Structure formats: C-alpha cells, structure tokens
C-alpha cells in the first residue's frame, strides 16, 4: 500500500468549493469599491483600487488553499464514525504488522463503498445578505449626484427662471506647459493657476443659463472674449506674464468681481560652477603638459547636452603679444537638470611656451525654446612661468623692481588670523575681539604702505620704513658712485617720485621716472580693495570672514611681485609750449565741457508716500481718485520693485471698487509700506540733560560770563 489511498478527488473538490465561496463573497464588494473610486477619483484611481483588491484576493485565496492541507483532510476523515479514528493509516506508508495492514484495507473498502464528501456547505443566507449590501452600495455610488466640477461643459442644465441670476456651474482650465520643460499637461477646476512662462492656457466654462457675451477681463486692461461651442464657453491664451482677471457675463462681473490669479513662473538662467581649477589664475611650470578643466551647470528645466569651451592663447610679451582663439565642443555627463563638462587641455598640442597665457571660458545653454539662455563661466587663466633671466646691463635705462619686499607681512596676517581662530574656544569674547582688532590695525598699516604707491593719502599712518638706506651704501653695482646726504629730505605722501626717492634713485629728472605700469597699478588696486575688506572684518571681530579677502589680497600681491620689470627712462617730458597770451584770460573757447561729477539723485516716490499718508486718515475721508490712478501708473512702470506685484494690484483694485472698506485700506497700506523711500539721514539731536547735568552746564555758563 502507498499514500495513494487518500481520497484526492474529494480533497480537491473541497479546496475548489472554498475558493468559490471566497470569490462569491468578495466580487460584489470589489465591484462596489471600484464604482466608488471611479465616482470620486476617476478611472485611474478605480483601476488602482481594483488592482490592489485583486492582489489581496489572490493572497487570501492562497492562504485558504494552504489551510486545507493533509492534516485538515485527516481530521475531516476521522470525523466519520466508520473511520474509527484510523485515517492516519491511509497517509502512512504500509506497515509490516498484519493488524495495521488489515485495518488499512478495511478503511479503503469503506471509502470505496461510501465516498467521502468533504466540500463545505454553501452559506446561502450570509451570502445573500452580503451580496445585497454590496449591491446597495454599488447603486448609491452610481446614482450619487455629481459634483459641479465634474459636469461636462457640453451639457447645459435647463433654462432657469427669469429671476435666477447667472452663475458658474463648471470650470476647467487646461494647462499645457512648453515642451522643453518636460512637465505634463494637466487640468484643474480652479480658475487660478501657477505655470511656467510660455504655457498655453485654455478655459472651458459652463453656466446655469445662456449668457449673450462672456469675456475674461484682465486688470491691466486686456479683454479675452470666450466663444460658445459644444454647450460651453471656450478661450485660449499664452501665459507670458503674471496677471489678475475676472469673468464678465453680459457686462456684469461674476462673483462680485473677485479676481483670479495667474502666476507666470520665469525660466531661471542656468547656474554655472567651476569645479577645477580652484583658482582663477593658475601658475604652472614650463614642463606642465596638461590642464584639467571641470564645470557643473544646473538649470530648473534642463541643460543642453553640448557646451562650447573657448580657449584664447596669448603669446609673446610687450607690444608683440599675439592672440589666437579656439572653440571646442564638449559633451555633458549626468542628468539633464545637472550636467558636468570636463576636458583636459593638451598644452603641447597648442604650442604653449614658457611665459604664455591660456585663457579658458565655458559657454553653456539651457533647453529653453525658441531662444535658449546662455551662461558663461569666469575667465580661467593658466600662465606658464618664464625661466628667471639675468639683469640686463649696458642699456639706456635703470632697472627697478616694481615693489619693495612687503609680501611676507600679508602672509603673516593670514597665519595670525588662522591661529586666532584656533584659539577662539579658549579666549574670552573681549580678549578675542582685542586680538582681532590688533590684526585689523596691522592690516591697515600694510594697506596704507601699499596705497602710497598709488598716490593715496596716508590717513595719518606710519611713515614708510627707511632702514634699507644703510644697506644701500654697501652696494657695489651701478649705483656705487652716488652721494647720500645724512639727513633725508621730507617726503610727500601719495607722490610716486618721493616713494621712488625713498627706495632708490631717480637718476635725472624726477618727472621722468615711472614706478608702476598701468596693468600693475590695476592689480595693486585690486589688492588694496581686498585688504580694505579684510581690515573691515578684522576690526569687527570676524577673522573667519576676513580670511577670504586676505587670501585674495595675497594672490594679487604675488601677481605684482611676478610682473615684468619696468624701466625708468632718462628722458624728460615732451610738453607742448604754453601760450602766454591765453594765460589767466578766463576764456574757455576750445575746451571740452567737464561733466559734473555729482549726479542727481533719482526722484523719490513722493506719490506713494502721499497715498500712504492719505490711507492713514479717517475712513470717512475718501482717498482721492487721482492718487489711485497715479499708483496704477507707477505699478506699470515699477511693478517689479514690489515683492508681490499681483497682491499690490489686487489690493488697489479692491479699494477702487469699495472706497469705504476699512480693511481694504489697511491691506493696501501694508502692501505700500515696503515701497516707501528711506528717509535721508539727519543729525540726531542731543538728549536734554537731567537735573544734575543742567546744574553742571549752568555752572560752566557762569564761569564763562565772569
């Protein structure tokens, strides 16, 4: 004997009956649930609900099938009295014992004579009650009256009574963004919307009657008439700028003229970030073979896959500099919203030599259509350092360094500031501020020293150091024959000639000496600007904010130190002769007009100030209409100055329609408050003295009268 003695046919029939009963109970409720989802959420929600319900039903059916296993079958067989609680012998392998074999044969004969009936009985009463409840729920979902927003614009209700006013029963706004944005079209029932600039808008409106004319009236004066077709009113327009509008029926504004808002979201230009190199100016040895460039471009709607790398080669020196431009296309990597562009420039292939400059700039675009927005990176400069050369001799001119050796002082300020930042947790706040202020004083002294080379005033700063004069006497070069007087003459701050005499010799006429060339002066001016910002932050006790400016100043100083040498020619100025007949005559014929350096300040918004003051008056006093008209004209010219121009326009329109509304006046005043001009600075009056202070002043006055 084997395990085939079990009644497999009856067992399978019982399992199928259990699944059929489960389906009979679940399917009516599934239909009712799908109808409810379709009614209140649309077809998509209904399909989603049905899919989830079917998955859940399949899971429960699998559990039911596994529940009716062999143990359940044996328990069901043992429930029969003729099985004598011996049904386990049918599932066990044949035993060697004679008694067990005999009992198993008897059970098989009884099952053959009377087949087992294992199928569960149908619960007809419970099934009928469940099906009836599901049917009632399904009927309620199908017969439930639809919401006004779900009415088809093609179905117009019956004509209302003559006394019933026209009202909006259905509204639908189709929003189709530009294709380049990648945003899907959508439909909303609201009349206010926010969409990207350039979006196509289409209105579909239905009313409880049949008006003769329907139009959208914008607050800026535009009108958009709606056309009647398919039982509704339709119109379309491109959203180019934010606006407020109302619905007008037969010359009457709907909903008491409540404006609806359309916000046009502008396409922001792409943002570019330089990843490599870390500095604008990179100094490289002549043996360098490549230059790594990496950029990252980010945009709200996508960056173009291709960008252009513009390379400019500057070769030569002095007046013999030649320029050559090369454009290379680069393919971006990464997602469309954020792409990375990288390239390694082979310096040898470009023919770059020592002393040459290579300028790189990336030009990237976004996906805006029809005209894309362009962003350009800052110019990145790679300078191949030239080999050090010997001082020229035997030429007409005196070789001078551009600047004296002041460069270590700026580096020391940076080191001291970084050390102070590390000591901040251990120092008291007052002590920390004192040390930071002391560093600011050092930065000021250094700035004044450099500023004197550009002709700036000393600002009562310390005199330039003259300790180098003693060392100069030991020189044995070209200057050995000069005679140095013991007392040094007084120098004038801000004069290049005096500075040159303090650090060297002019050798002939002082007017013939030029210490700094224009390019070096411009670089030094940038260094002074960064020193000023560094000093400002240090004096305020913020060395962490001063470090970026200090590093930039150090970089500019290094550029000045590495600049080419200049020559002080031994020639005098070639000035035109002075016409003695025109001197002190006061005649201005032939002279170009000199522009006034003082530019007129822009006129203040006096109209806005006057309107704001008028709104503060008693509500019974009406605001002059001319003031509101003036504000409308100001909005058309300077609306971008307001944080929310549409809110300001809505508040103004609300007050124009209801001049007696006190809340409308307050809302308009609140919108105008940030736009009021800042009052000019004035001298603060000294506060009145107290009794003791007044007695002291009287005593001083009495002493003065004696």
Q: What average pLDDT score do residues 159-188 get?
A: 83
> What are the angstrom distances between the C-alpha of 310 and each of 272, 323, 426, 511, 672?
15, 13, 51, 43, 48
**Would you say residue 7 lies in a domain?**
yes
Best CA proximity match to 310, nearest among 333, 293, 322: 293
Buried b (16+ CB within 10 A) or exposed e, 39-66: beeeeeebeebbeebeeeeeeeeeeeee
Omega before residue 92 within 30° of 0, cis: no
Whether residues 59 and 80 share a domain: the answer is: yes
Whether residues 157 and 248 share a domain: the answer is: yes
Question: In sequence order, what are the beta bridge partners of 174?
Answer: 187, 202
**Would you say residue 502 lies in a domain?**
yes
Q: pLDDT over 70 for what percent of the chain? A: 75
Lowest-confidence pick of 367-376, 443-452, 614-623, 627-636: 614-623
> pLDDT at residue 476 above 60?
no
**Would you say residue 590 lies in a domain?**
no
pLDDT of residue 158: 44
The larger pLDDT score, comparing residue 371 to residue 164, is at: 371
In contact, 528 and 448? CB cutoff 8 Å: no
Domain end call among 265, 287, 305: 265
At residue 643, the 3 state secondary structure works out as: coil
The larger pLDDT score, comparing residue 189 to residue 72, is at: 189
Exposed/middle/buried for 366, CB within 10 Å: 0-12, 13-18, 19+?
A: buried
> pLDDT at residue 481 above 50?
no
CATH for 235: 2.60.40.10
Whether residues 303 and 376 share a domain: the answer is: yes
Tell me the residue range of the domain where 644 lies: 606-675
Whether residues 408 and 343 share a domain: the answer is: no
Residue written as tokens 């001197």?
583
Whether residues 364 and 418 share a domain: the answer is: no
Whether residues 189 and 238 share a domain: the answer is: yes
In contact, 39 and 142? CB cutoff 8 Å: yes
Question: In sequence order, what are the beta bridge partners of 206?
Answer: 170
Q: What average pLDDT score do residues 462-474 get?
A: 39
What confidence tens digit (pLDDT) does each residue in 250-289 have?
888 887 778 999 999 999 999 999 999 999 999 999 888 9
Residue 212 phi, psi dihedral angles, 5° rounding: -80, -40
pLDDT of residue 186: 94
Whether residues 114 and 229 share a domain: the answer is: no
The larger pLDDT score, comparing residue 317 to residue 470, is at: 317
Whether residues 564 and 451 share a domain: the answer is: yes
Lowest-confidence pick of 347-361, 522-536, 676-690: 676-690
> pLDDT at residue 108 above 50?
yes
d(CA 333, CA 327): 19
pLDDT of residue 181: 92
Banded model confidence at residue 233, pLDDT cuts 50, 70, 90: very high
Banded model confidence at residue 601, pLDDT cuts 50, 70, 90: low
Q: State whether the Cα torsion 621-625-628-634 is positive or negative.
A: negative
232: how many CB neighbours lie within 10 A of its CB?
Answer: 23
User: Which tokens belong to 296?
Assistant: 């990252």
Buried b (16+ CB within 10 A) or exposed e, 670-700: ebbeebeeeeeeeeeeeeeeeeeeeeeeeee
Q: What average pLDDT score do residues 426-451 get?
A: 88
Helical pair 662-672 and 606-615, crossing angle rounded to 10 deg? 150
Residue 442 phi, psi dihedral angles, 5° rounding: -60, -40
pLDDT of residue 594: 74
Residue 431 phi, psi dihedral angles, 5° rounding: -65, -40
> pLDDT at residue 589 above 70?
yes
Banded model confidence at residue 388, pLDDT cuts 50, 70, 90: low
The larger pLDDT score, comparing residue 556 to residue 485, is at: 556
Domain end call among 384, 419, 451: 384
> pLDDT at residue 483 above 50?
no
DSSP 300: S
Whether residues 107 and 196 share a domain: the answer is: no
pLDDT of residue 375: 95
* 178 contact partners, CB below 8 Å, separation of at least 6: 196, 198, 199, 368, 369
CA angle 703, 705, 706 (to 5 degrees): 70
pLDDT of residue 679: 73
How would DSSP label each residue in 358-419? Answer: EEEEEEEEB--SSS--EEEPPPEEEEEPPPP-PPP-SSSSEEE-SS-S-HHHHHHHHHHHHH
In contact, 333 and 339? CB cutoff 8 Å: yes
**Would you say residue 660 lies in a domain?**
yes
At residue 310, the 3 state secondary structure works out as: strand
The larger pLDDT score, comparing residue 144 to residue 694, is at: 694
pLDDT of residue 515: 53
The larger pLDDT score, comparing residue 628 to residue 510, is at: 628
pTM for this model (two decimals): 0.47
**Would you say residue 8 lies in a domain?**
yes
pLDDT of residue 256: 74
Q: State whether the Cα torsion 52-55-57-59 is positive or negative.
A: negative
pLDDT of residue 482: 40
Whether residues 295 and 161 share a domain: the answer is: no
**Would you say residue 469 lies in a domain?**
no
DSSP 577: P
Lowest-confidence pick of 94-108, 242-256, 422-436: 94-108
Q: What average pLDDT score do residues 309-338 get?
A: 89
Mean pLDDT estimate for the chain: 78
pLDDT of residue 449: 84
> pLDDT at residue 23 above 90?
no
What's the total number of domains in the chain?
5
> What are the angstrom distances between the C-alpha of 239 and each of 39, 178, 233, 266?
33, 10, 19, 11
Whether residues 129 and 156 share a domain: the answer is: no
> pLDDT at residue 509 above 60?
no
**Would you say residue 488 lies in a domain?**
no
702: how many CB neighbours lie within 10 A of its CB?
Answer: 9
Residue written as tokens 């239909």?
31
Q: What average pLDDT score do residues 502-510 get?
A: 40
* 329 contact partners, CB below 8 Å, separation of at least 6: 306, 307, 308, 309
d(CA 288, CA 279): 17
CATH for 499: 1.20.120
Question: In sequence order, what are the beta bridge partners of 566?
Answer: 400
Residue written as tokens 């549409």?
646
Residue written as tokens 């390379």?
311
Q: What average pLDDT score do residues 185-204 get?
A: 94
Instruction: Calculate the dihedral angle through the C-alpha atoms of 24, 27, 33, 36, rounding to the nearest 10 degrees.
Output: -110
H or E, element range at 559? helix 543-561
Lowest-confidence pick of 13-22, 289-298, 538-547: 13-22
Q: What average pLDDT score do residues 567-587 get?
A: 66
Domain end call among 520, 545, 568: 568
> pLDDT at residue 685 above 70?
yes
Whether residues 449 and 536 share a domain: the answer is: yes
**Would you say residue 578 lies in a domain?**
no
H or E, element range at 275? strand 271-276
**HEC readout, 650-698:** HHHHHHHHCCCCHHHHHHHHHHHHHHCCCCCCCCCCCCCCCHHHHHHHH
The larger pLDDT score, comparing residue 676 to residue 569, is at: 676
Omega before residue 370 within 30° of 0, cis: yes
């Amino acid at each position: 004997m084997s395990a085939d003695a079990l009644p497999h046919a009856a067992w399978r029939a019982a399992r199928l009956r259990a699944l059929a009963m489960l389906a009979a109970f679940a399917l009516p409720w599934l239909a009712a649930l799908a109808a409810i989802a379709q009614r209140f959420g649309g077809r998509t929600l209904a399909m989603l609900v049905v899919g989830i319900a079917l998955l859940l039903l399949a899971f429960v059916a699998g559990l039911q099938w596994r529940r009716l296993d062999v143990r359940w079958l044996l328990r069901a067989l043992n429930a029969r009295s003729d099985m004598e609680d011996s049904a386990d012998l049918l599932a066990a392998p044949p035993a060697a014992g004679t008694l067990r074999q005999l009992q198993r044969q008897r059970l098989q004969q009884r099952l053959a004579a009377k087949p087992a009936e294992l199928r569960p009985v149908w619960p007809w009463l419970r099934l009928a009650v469940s099906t009836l409840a599901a049917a009632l729920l399904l009927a309620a979902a199908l017969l439930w009256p639809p919401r006004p927003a779900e009415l088809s614009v093609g179905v117009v209700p019956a004509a209302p009574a003559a006394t019933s006013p026209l009202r909006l029963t259905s509204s639908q706004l189709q929003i189709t963004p530009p294709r380049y944005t990648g945003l899907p079209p959508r439909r909303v029932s609201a009349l206010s919307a926010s969409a990207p600039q350039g979006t196509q808008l289409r209105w579909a409106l239905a009313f409880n009657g049949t008006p003769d004319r329907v139009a959208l009236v914008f607050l800026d004066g535009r009108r958009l008439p709606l056309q009647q077709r398919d039982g509704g009113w339709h119109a379309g327009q491109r959203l180019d700028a934010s606006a407020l509008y109302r619905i007008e029926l037969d010359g009457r504004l709907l909903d008491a003229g409540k404006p609806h808002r359309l916000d046009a979201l502008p396409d922001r230009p792409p943002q570019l970030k330089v990843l490599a190199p870390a500095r604008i100016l990179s100094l490289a040895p002549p043996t360098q073979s490549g230059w790594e460039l990496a950029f990252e471009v980010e945009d709200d709607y996508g960056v173009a896959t291709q960008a252009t790398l513009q390379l400019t080669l500057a070769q030569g020196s002095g007046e013999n500099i030649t320029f050559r431009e090369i454009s290379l296309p680069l393919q971006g990597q990464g997602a469309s919203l954020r792409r990375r562009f990288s390239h390694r420039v082979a310096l040898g292939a470009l023919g770059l030599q020592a002393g040459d400059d290579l300028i790189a700039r990336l030009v990237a675009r976004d996906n805006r259509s029809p005209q894309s927005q362009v962003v350009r990176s800052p110019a990145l400069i790679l300078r191949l350092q030239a080999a050090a050369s010997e001082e020229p001799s035997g030429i007409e001119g005196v070789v001078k360094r551009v600047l004296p050796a002041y460069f270590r002082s700026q580096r020391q300020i940076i080191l001291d500031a970084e050390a102070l930042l590390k000591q901040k947790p251990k120092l008291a706040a007052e002590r920390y501020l004192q040390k930071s202020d002391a560093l600011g004083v050092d930065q000021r002294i250094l700035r004044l020293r450099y500023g004197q080379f550009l002709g700036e005033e000393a600002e009562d700063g310390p005199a330039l150091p003259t300790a180098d004069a003693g060392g100069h006497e030991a020189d044995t070069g070209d200057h050995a024959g000069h005679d140095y007087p013991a007392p040094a003459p007084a120098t004038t701050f801000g004069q290049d000639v005096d500075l040159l005499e303090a650090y060297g010799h002019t050798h002939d006429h002082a007017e013939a000496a030029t210490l700094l060339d224009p390019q070096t002066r411009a670089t030094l001016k940038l260094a002074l600007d960064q020193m000023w910002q560094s000093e400002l932050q240090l004096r305020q006790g913020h060395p962490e904010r001063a470090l970026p400016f200090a590093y930039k100043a150090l970089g500019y100083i290094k550029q000045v130190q590495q600049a080419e040498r200049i020559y002080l020619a031994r020639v005098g100025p070639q000035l035109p002769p002075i016409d003695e007949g025109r001197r002190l005559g006061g005649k201005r014929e032939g002279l170009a007009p000199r522009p006034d350096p003082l530019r007129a300040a822009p006129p203040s918004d006096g109209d806005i100030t006057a309107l704001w003051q008028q709104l503060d008056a008693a509500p019974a006093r009406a605001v002059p209409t001319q003031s509101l008209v003036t504000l409308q004209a100001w909005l058309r010219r300077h609306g971008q100055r307001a944080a929310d121009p549409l809110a300001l326009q809505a508040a103004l329109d609300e007050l124009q329609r209801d001049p007696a509304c006190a809340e409308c006046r307050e809302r308009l005043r609140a919108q105008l408050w940030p736009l009021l001009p800042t009052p000019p600075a004035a001298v603060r009056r000294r506060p009145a003295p107290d009794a003791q202070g007044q007695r002291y002043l009287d005593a001083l006055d009495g002493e003065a009268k004696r």
